[in-house]
Amino acid sequence: MSNIKPNIVLIGGGGHCISVIDIIENGNEFNIIGILDSNSEEKNILGYKILGGDDLIPELVHKNTYFLITVGQIKNNCPRKKISKVLTKNNAKIATIISPLAYVSKHAKIGLGTVIMNYAVVNAKAKIGKNCIINTMSNIEHDVLIGDYCHISTCAVINGNSEIGSGSFIGSNSTISNNISIKENSVISAGKFIKS
């Protein structure tokens, strides 16, 4: 059996990328070969080389290479969706990253391209869509359904049987009560309590 770790290319070199690098290093599942970011003025991030822009995706697609979108998402998921379309067009393999410091129930389902950050909790029968950010210390309770391209911010709580529509942003320290449905592309400000 081979012990060679698969490679991973990160797309987006901002603050979210920095946090994800730390998680990947601690998880020791992937070998980071570089970052794609055409807007970055840096030559490297935390020691990993900026390889160029998104136009390099086709030539980096390889059977041992995965990709992960590390562009952040605050109120606007369009850049992440655009990158996802390019990856799909090029048949790229998409990584799902779960911090070794997070708790994810074996009865939960996590979509491709989603990142579960440090100390996040995802409880039983929760379903999280594709390309989501479940940020540090957020709590996704039992039977919660989170659509694709959502960002659940730091310390946010989504209580049982609630549904978060695709493309939504749930701000830091906000709380969604039980049995609540949040429509697609919603923005819930930091610290809000949604009970109806």
CA–CA distance, 40 with 15 (Å, rounded to integer): 12
Question: What contacts 24+ positions apart, CB below 8 Å, involve 183-191?
Answer: 184/147, 185/77, 187/75, 190/153
Instruction: Report DSSP letters for 67-88, one per residue.
Output: EEE----SS--HHHHHHHHHHH
The separation between the first and the last C-alpha atoms of the chain, rounded to the nearest angstrom, is: 53
Which residue in the block uniquely carries the two structure tokens 């946010």? 156
Q: How many residues does the chain have?
A: 196
Q: How far is CA 189 from the centre of its chain?
A: 19
CA–CA distance, 152 with 150 (Å, rounded to integer): 6
The active-site residue out of 16, 62, 107, 142 is 142
Is 142 a known active-site residue?
yes
Neighbours of 51 (CB within 10 A): 15
Give SS3 for 48. Answer: strand
Q: Which positions are annotated as active-site residues? A: 142
